Amino acid sequence: MSRFWIVNIVFLVLLIVLLVLDANYSISAWWYVALIAPLIALHTFGSIYLSMQFFIPAKCQGKPQQAIAITFDDGPIAGMTEKILAILDKHKVKASFFCIGHRIAREPELAKRLHDEGHLIGNHTYWHKATFDLQSGGSIARELADTDKAIVKAVGVKPKFFRPPYGVTNPMVAKGIRSGDYTVIGWSVRSFDTVIKDRAKLFNRVTRSLKGGDIVLFHDYSESTHDILDDFLNHVSKLGLKVVRVDELLNEKAYV
């Protein structure tokens, strides 16, 4: 049972208790506010913080070890993803790419290159629209299935890993995920490389507390990530850590 349902059941039990007390003793309305306010807060934070695993289990970090995983969202993007691949190849490390379905369909050869060079490919929805999480569970399931089809057509494997856009989840997203039996992958270090353009600030953000077991979130198209990735990988090496794919870090199966 998810934490979402546990919280709702506890809320209903407490609400019934309040109603019984109110019927017998006419209690203050503030007791209802005190009950409902935390429920709203939990639902809100549970939706936007994937690490809470409020609606669906998620893997956000590996066990403490001498390795980390680096992940790239939103590709493949011609002219951008290749720059990432060149740096990864220079350092002889493998990463994990959570790809958008329509971009896979548009750049199948680039997707195949990702796979052929030993990098992991995961599902990151077909369109990655801001309204993704507002769809019905059935619509979400179909979008994830369409992404799987694009990946299978391009590289010949069906992904087991899914990362929700922005890390946002809710009951509809959870239903869509469960229908495809995906393993949800989050992160423990979020770079915010889509908004941090200053090279030094970005480098400091992703290195200041980096430790074994971390999953780092970057984006293919971020110029600031292109600027720091070489130095970041050198820093990882100096810490005595190695970079592995998410499936190796978590000891989970990457493909169906």
Q: φ and ψ at 88, to 5 degrees?
A: -60, -40
- Active-site annotation holds for 226: no
Q: What is the 3-state secondary structure (H, E, C) of 220-244?
A: CCCHHHHHHHHHHHHHHHHCCCEEC
- Active-site annotation holds for 73: yes
The CA R_g of the chain, rounded to the nearest whole Å, is 21
Residue 96 to residues 109, 201, 245: CA-CA distances in angstroms? 17, 24, 6
**Residue that is written with structure tokens 């503030």 in the block:** 30
SS3 at position 67: strand
What is the enclosing helix (H) or strand (E) of 199? Answer: helix 199-207
Q: How many residues does the chain have?
A: 256
| Number of helices (H), then strands (E), in the chain | 10, 8
SS3 at position 253: coil
Q: Which of 119, 124, 128, 219 is catalytic?
A: 219
Specify the amino acid at residue 226: H
Neighbours of 248 (CB within 10 A): 17
Tokens read off for 169:
């989840």
238: Cβ–Cβ under 8 A, 6 or more apart, which residues? none
Specify the amino acid at residue 248: E
Active site residues: 73, 219
